[in-house]
Amino acid sequence: MSILTILTLVAVALVVLVLVVYLLGIASTCGGRTGTWRSSPGGCEAVQGHARPLPEHLGTVNGALRALRDDLRGTDRHLEGVGRFVGRD
């Protein structure tokens, strides 16, 4: 195995380990509070109320992302032209 393969495997293992520790911390925190959440009748309704305005905001975000995509495509075409000009295809 090459050194890059070993370093990649070590990096992946570290990321997985950090995620496992993080998720276990979340699970232990939530595990102690599940009774409180179940006894709270307005918990789900509050979450639903906070998520209700999302569709109208998502349309705005989608439009802005579409404009950004178009600008980035124009930049890409410009950089391709510059690359051809300096002799890099």
The domain limits of the chain are 1-42, 53-89
C-alpha atoms less than 13 angstroms from C-alpha of 55 in its C-beta half-sphere: 3
pLDDT at 42: 59
Joined together, the tokens standing for residue 83 give: 């690359």
Give the containing element (helix H, strand E) for 16: helix 3-31
User: Distance between CA 80 and CA 72 in Å, rounded?
Assistant: 12
Q: What is the pLDDT along the chain (89 residues), one digit of tens a residue?
A: 789 899 999 999 999 999 999 988 877 766 655 555 555 555 566 666 777 777 888 888 899 999 999 999 999 999 998 888 888 65
pLDDT at 24: 86
The DSSP letter of residue 42 is: T
Q: Are the CB atoms for 45 and 39 separated by under 8 Å?
A: no
Whether the model clears a pTM of 0.95, i.e. scores above it, the answer is no
